[in-house]
Structure 1
Amino acid sequence: MSKRALLLSLVFFVAAALGLWASLQFNGPASPAAPALPETRAITLMHTPRTLPAFALQQSDGTPLTADELKGHWTVVFLGFTHCPDVCPTTLAQLAGAQKQWAQVPEASRPRLLLVSADPERDTPELLGKYAHAFHPDTLAATAPLPQLQAFARSLSLVFMKVPNKSGPGTSGAPNDYSIDHSAALVLLDPQARMAGVAQPPFDVNAIAADLMTLTESNTVVPAKAGTHGR
């Protein structure tokens, strides 16, 4: 790993860790009357989920993705992009294994995976949807103009940045020859669409699948809404 990649990985990890720490400090410990958190193996749960600022992304079928559309399910959020050479396809392929294990859960409460593009310049909703569904047809995919994406990512303690390739602008003259450095962590949203936990790589797919099954079966958080959602 290059020094720049190593430094960026450290920055991303620290940003996510600080975001989680700040949320825990702000919310404080769980009250004595609060139900005990279920034991998880791969996901670090927050004592009190963090309510997210209002957001509106665009799904691959053209419908808006808001907090209301995510309610009723535990949702794993992953930040990526279709031109990603390694981390994104590897992570999505791994998570497809977890999604296959969730297939036995009724659709009304089945855990979900949401891929959010960090590259709105190249990733149209349609392109992102085709990319996501190539790994698993149930994956939700959404994007938005850059300001909305940055605000959404910050609310989840995730970061991303555009990085010119060595043969990028100024060398080859190709304006689209760039990459995106982004957080590799997974963020968990509870059935009320609040930030409820994080998982850091390397990922244990079986443990993640088991954690989501445990959370879905538990009554720690009562689903606020169940229904149909776009992709």
Structure 2
Amino acid sequence: MFNRTTLMILIAALGAGLGLLVAQRVFDAPPAAADAPALQAARLLPPRELPAFSLRQSDGTPLVPGELRGHWTVVFLGFTHCPDVCPTTLAQLSQAQKRWETLPESVRPRVLFVSVDPERDTPDRIGEYAHGFHRDTLAATADVPALEQFTRSLSLVFAKVAAGEGRPETEYTMDHSATLVLLDPQGRMAGIVQAPFDPNAVGTDLLTLTKEAAR
């Protein structure tokens, strides 16, 4: 369970993570190649390898880096008790997913919903929740330390927020980054999409990136 000190550390980490992305974009990113794809919503970054991680998918099987290879993957953090941002974003992503449903499954982009609330979100629950938006959405979670390691590698953060005074402890909520992270077909962090999200733009961008990867 997060205490106040941990929460402050996470907030500081969020600032540092955002600063890292901005600095990387402004100072370290090489100039776009002349034949770089024109994207509407996604911002590409220099690809960055992710450290080893292991999440648990909704079907109970482990999700490890190798399983994300071969596809562009859109990663979104959330939790099933989320009242607004999570269902809205997953609904928008489901519209984007319709844009690439006709692509072969072997290269079709993926949406990965990662629950940061393992205390309440069992594998069965996150699977039912995610598939309610689109049947192809992957859903995974892990224990808190593993989630912290995974989200930190994507420059994302989350924190448990206690219920208000006089309310049951089980009514806590979760604060989390709302930015979408793009993993390339090599499983590397390669871009971000920031709110507000345009489903058509996100769908078009992933189609473009998939076609470019197939060249």
- TM-score norm. by structure 1 comes to 0.82
Asked if the contact 1:187–1:195 (Cα under 8 Å) also holds between the matched residues in 2, the reply is yes
Q: Compared with structure 1, are the counterparts of its residues 94 and 210 closer, same or farther at alpha carbon in structure 2 (3 Å cutoff)?
A: same
Structure 2 partner of 1:58: 56
SS in structure 2 at match of 1:58: strand
**2:139 aligned partner, one-letter code:** A
SS in structure 2 at match of 1:218: helix
Asked if the contact 1:12–1:182 (Cα under 8 Å) also holds between the matched residues in 2, the reply is no
* Cα distance in 1, alignment partners of residues 16 and 98 from structure 2: 31
Structure 2 partner of 1:39: 38
* Cα distance in 1, alignment partners of residues 134 and 20 from structure 2: 30
Asked if the contact 1:23–1:50 (Cα under 8 Å) also holds between the matched residues in 2, the reply is no
* Cα distance in 1, alignment partners of residues 29 and 169 from structure 2: 48
**2:131 aligned partner, one-letter code:** H
Structure 2 partner of 1:181: 175
Of 191, 194, 211 in structure 1, the residue corresponding to residue 185 of structure 2 is 191
Identity score, percent: 58
**2:95 aligned partner, one-letter code:** G
Shift of 1:23: 4.3
- TM-score norm. by structure 2 comes to 0.88
Q: Which runs of 5+ in 1 are unaligned?
A: 1-9, 223-231
Q: Compared with structure 1, are the counterparts of its residues 55 and 163 closer, same or farther at alpha carbon in structure 2 (3 Å cutoff)?
A: same
* Cα distance in 2, alignment partners of residues 16 and 42 from structure 1: 20
The number of equivalent residue pairs is 205
Structure 1 partner of 2:95: 97
* Cα distance in 2, alignment partners of residues 80 and 12 from structure 1: 18
* Cα distance in 1, alignment partners of residues 112 and 128 from structure 2: 13
* Cα distance in 2, alignment partners of residues 57 and 193 from structure 1: 14
Q: Compared with structure 1, are the counterparts of its residues 24 and 124 closer, same or farther at alpha carbon in structure 2 (3 Å cutoff)?
A: same
Q: Which runs of 5+ in 2 are unaligned?
A: 1-10
Asked if the contact 1:15–1:158 (Cα under 8 Å) also holds between the matched residues in 2, the reply is no
* Cα distance in 2, alignment partners of residues 104 and 147 from structure 1: 38
* Cα distance in 2, alignment partners of residues 102 and 15 from structure 1: 34
Shift of 1:17: 2.9
Q: Compared with structure 1, are the counterparts of its residues 93 and 216 closer, same or farther at alpha carbon in structure 2 (3 Å cutoff)?
A: same
SS in structure 2 at match of 1:210: helix
**1:41 aligned partner, one-letter code:** Q
Asked if the contact 2:163–2:170 (Cα under 8 Å) also holds between the matched residues in 1, the reply is no
SS in structure 1 at match of 2:140: strand
Structure 2 partner of 1:161: 159
Asked if the contact 2:183–2:190 (Cα under 8 Å) also holds between the matched residues in 1, the reply is yes
Asked if the contact 2:55–2:62 (Cα under 8 Å) also holds between the matched residues in 1, the reply is yes
* Cα distance in 1, alignment partners of residues 158 and 164 from structure 2: 19
